[in-house]
Chain A
Amino acid sequence: MSKVLIIGSGGAGLVSALSAHESGAEVIVASKTLPTRSQTSMAQGGMNAVLDSNDSIENHIADTLKSSAGLGDEDQIRVMCEKAEDAIRWCNRIGLPFSRDENGEIARRRLGGASAPRACYAQDYTGLKLLHTLYDQCLKAGIVFKNGRYLLNLIMDDETNRVLGATFLVIESGEVEEIRADTVIMATGGYGALYGKHSTNSTQATGDGLAAAVRAGAKLADMEFIQFHPTALKNSSILISESARGAGGYLLNAQLERFTDELAPRDIVARAIHDEMAASGAVYLDIRHLGEEFIAHELPQERKLAQIYEGIDPVHELIPIKPSAHYSMGGIAVNAQCMSAVNGLFAVGECANHKTHGANRLGGNSLLELVVFGRECGRNATEYGAKYPVPIVENSQYTKDTNFIRGVMYFTNQIDFYQKQEMLANIFYNNVGLVRDDMGLKAVLGAIRQMQKELPFMGPRDKSKGCNTNLVEFIEFGNKIELAEMIVVSAISRVESRGAHYRIDAPQRNDMMFGGHTITWKEDGVLCADFMK
């Protein structure tokens, strides 16, 4: 029986866990938090699938391809769209309480960039209810959860380029733990938290899995593509779901005039808002005309959050908004079987790049992607592990990481990493945000390289061994810095504009030069980058 280690317990991790379990694997899910506390709980809008004859799979494929701006892989997109209905039916079968239409079919709404209403939803709690349904099924299946495990490194057999397992900091005890497995599935989510208070993401979305995968020799793809959600609350970057616009909400400028097509793809709407904020000073989302009954029933979260964070009631008042970093299109490069450049290392969900979103993700495709590819990935990882069981080899990673955890306590702390983290978030939002140029990007790269040098002069100030979240946050910061460099180098290399990557100094798309994926990896610690088809 093959043993599959899944790192991360969000939607992608739990779908893979169920799939691997069904395929006969022994499954362990290790996560820095608890299964129901992941980023997936925050997804609101829905999950795309074609369920009726007024829409077609071809349309879903065409919309996704168009939004991907040349970087979506048609075969991968086809797999996702063709398996969408089956994925939705599976979710329904295991208990996800979808909202219904008047015919008793799963209700769908139209999201930006979609040619038909095809986002299946459960009020504005689609992600929350998906995640909890998956969690309940994992309990039913007896999946072993190892919670409070913070990923340190993958254990590698360098000679065969084979992953052997992973090391973790057991947060409660402060000890390092080694978990060996035949295959490892990375399902750790995106890197949106790099943007700090300018991100809609959970503060936990620090890209730990991507950083560990790079250190193990995996390649990353299209890291410069970060989707900015057009409508986040102005002061807190808390997300106001696209369904607010899907239901007929307007975007208004400071003169209270509409200025853009609210249902264009996210990159276009976000940039229109960016430009309008620069021109008129403020942009608002107006859903007052939808009526109190509709808002209370269909958008209850939005209403509550606007009241808490902006002190306004959207039933009667305008919602002040700004675009905020929302989704990491970039991720661990994987093949059609979801396997990375490292043998036995799989990746799925936001931490992976399945080449389904390309340069810009369509609303409603992220939950779909994690269900479709989660099911594939769990099965593939099980089969790979059964076919190529991992050899029992001595390995020094555990010792190295134990020494690191001991040693990091002696870092000098002349420099406060929280301050640097905030600075990184601000310069990323300003220079690696919606609008970029060569000079601004290079300035950020300089700042990142400086921070890398300064890391030994930072460190945790809390010296406690057990449950040291200051230590965890410092290692997270290290991962952010590692990824930040790869994002910025990718953004500098891509001297064109495409999807979410907009260069004001190169506003045209250039397929001749940059039609391929930006691949980044490390060779003996040196960052390498190339464009590949």
Chain B
Amino acid sequence: MNISIQRSQNNEYQTYNVELENVTLLTIINHIKTKMDPTLTYSHGCRSGVCGSCAVRVNGREQLMCEYKPSDGDTIEPIRNARVIRDLIVDSSMVDSCNATAIAWSESTKEEGVSNHEMERIETQSDCILCTSCYSACPVYSVNPQFIGPFALTRVWRYVNDPREQESSSKMAAIQTNGIWDCTLCGECVPVCPQGIAPKQDILMLRTKSVMMGYSDPNAAAAFGGGLDFGAPIF
């Protein structure tokens, strides 16, 4: 089977022929590294889809190498919207910066018992492994590199919607700028999530919550503000 991998030293695709059947892409890449080309550079860890190290793009779509079974002719590239350090390794500092900007943590909780039913509300969102696949798939970054982005916004919703959480106003304030209203709701982040999380839905929930708290969509204001005024005498 032929696998093409984008190499960073010349920005060209290098094709490797590997005769391994019915194995994961990570197994193939490990085979290349240890038996064919020790310069091939990538991240990996758990082999079981929980450490979030090995996200790449296969034929343009984000995949975890440890969960993807490759086919002949597949093309492997690093994830997008991040600086490539070498081959398939990118600068992951956005994990810290996006989460910190979004205040994506618990501020204070109550101690009383909560039902399993209530806890299930945040079950899926707290499955996030921070692989940054959604970040890579998001088209907003080409116009706004400051966008807080899907994984951090999902994390905010995870805490805002946590039945134990007592203080979410600072989080809600933090995501009004470069946050929920900058999302185009294109949904590209949804199918690429290896954990079945739908950041777009979480962003919609945060928008609804924001409106209930008195925030409004700044884009809507810009679209209408000073433009059409149905009460004006000009009509």
CA distance A418 to B69 in the complex (A): 24
Q: Chain B contacts of A301 at CB under 8 A?
A: 48-50
- Cross-interface CB contact of B44 among A41, A203, A461, cutoff 8 Å: A203
Known A95-B159, A103-B113, A308-B69; judge A34-B92 contact (CB<8 A): yes
Q: Known contacts being A42-B48, A100-B119, is A172 close to B111, with CB within 8 Å? A: no
Q: Does B16 contact A (CB under 8 A)?
A: no
Cβ 8 A contact of A467, one of B69, B85, B106, B159: B85
Q: Kindly identify which residue among B39, B69, B95 contacts A462, using a CB–CB cutoff of 8 Å.
A: B39
Asked if B100 is at the interface of the complex by the 8 Å CB criterion, the answer is yes
CB-defined interface of B75-102 with A at 8 Å, one 1/0 digit per residue? 0000000000110010010011001100
Interface membership of B136, Cβ < 8 A: no
Asked whether A104 is an interface residue with its Cβ less than 8 Å from the other chain, the reply is yes
Contact of A202 among B33, B38, B45 (CB under 8 A): B45
B204 interface contact, C-beta 8 A: no
Q: Once the chains bind, are A36 and B114 in contact (CB under 8 Å)?
A: no
Q: How far is the CB of A411 from chain B (nearest CB, A)?
A: 13
B142 within 8 A of A: no
Q: Do A202 and B111 touch across chains, with their CB atoms under 8 A apart?
A: no
Any A CB within 8 A of the CB of B140: no
In the bound assembly, the distance between CA atoms of A37 and B46 in angstroms comes to 8
**A123 cross-chain contacts in B, Cβ below 8 A:** 123
Report the separation of the CA atoms of residues A422 and B31 in the bound assembly, to the nearest whole angstrom: 12
- Check A128 against B115 for contact (C-beta < 8 Å): no
Q: Is the CB of B116 within 8 A of A129?
A: no
Are A41 and B115 in touch, CB under 8 angstroms? Answer: no
In chain A, positions 52-108 with a C-beta closer than 8 Å to chain B are 89, 92-95, 97-105, 107
Count how many pairs of residues, one from A and one from B, have CB atoms less than 8 Å apart in the complex. 153
Question: Does A136 contact B105, Cβ atoms closer than 8 Å?
Answer: yes
- Measured CB to CB, the residues of A under 8 A from B are 33-34, 36-39, 41-42, 89, 92-95, 97-105, 107, 122-123, 125, 128-129, 132-133, 136-137, 139-140, 145, 147, 172, 202-204, 236, 238-239, 301, 304-305, 308-309, 311, 418, 422, 460-462, 464, 466-470
7 closest Cβ pairs, A-B complex: A104-B113, A95-B106, A136-B105, A100-B116, A418-B34, A467-B86, A470-B38
CB-CB contacts of B113-133 with A at 8 A, as 1s and 0s? Answer: 111101100110011111000
Taking the closest CB of chain B, its distance from the CB of A133, in whole angstroms, is 8
Among residues of B, the one whose C-beta sits closest to the C-beta of A42 is: B46
Instruction: Name the distance in Å between A21's Cβ and chain B's nearest Cβ.
Output: 14
- Secondary structure at the B interface, as helix, strand, loop or mixed, is loop
Contacts beyond the supplied A128-B50, A469-B89: 6 A-B pairs with Cβ under 8 Å? A95-B106, A95-B165, A123-B123, A136-B106, A202-B47, A236-B47
Q: In the complex, which residues of chain A have a beta carbon less than 8 angstroms from the beta carbon of B50?
A: 41-42, 125, 128, 301
- Give the distance in Å from the alpha carbon of A462 to the alpha carbon of B86 in the complex: 13
User: Are B164 and A95 in touch, CB under 8 angstroms?
Assistant: yes
For the complex, give the distance between the alpha carbons of A8 and B162 in Å: 29
B38 touches A308 (CB 8 A): no
Instruction: Indicate whether A36 sits within 8 Å of B130 (C-beta atoms), given known contacts A94-B106, A99-B116.
Output: yes
Find out whether the CB atom of A139 lies under 8 angstroms from the CB atom of B46: no
In the complex, which residue of chain B has the Cβ closest to the Cβ of A205?
Answer: B45
Task: Jot down 27 A-B pairs with beta carbons below 8 A, ordered by A.
Answer: A33-B45, A34-B95, A41-B46, A41-B51, A42-B50, A92-B109, A92-B111, A93-B111, A95-B106, A95-B109, A95-B162, A98-B119, A107-B116, A125-B50, A125-B127, A128-B127, A136-B106, A140-B106, A145-B96, A172-B85, A203-B45, A204-B45, A238-B47, A422-B34, A467-B86, A467-B89, A470-B39
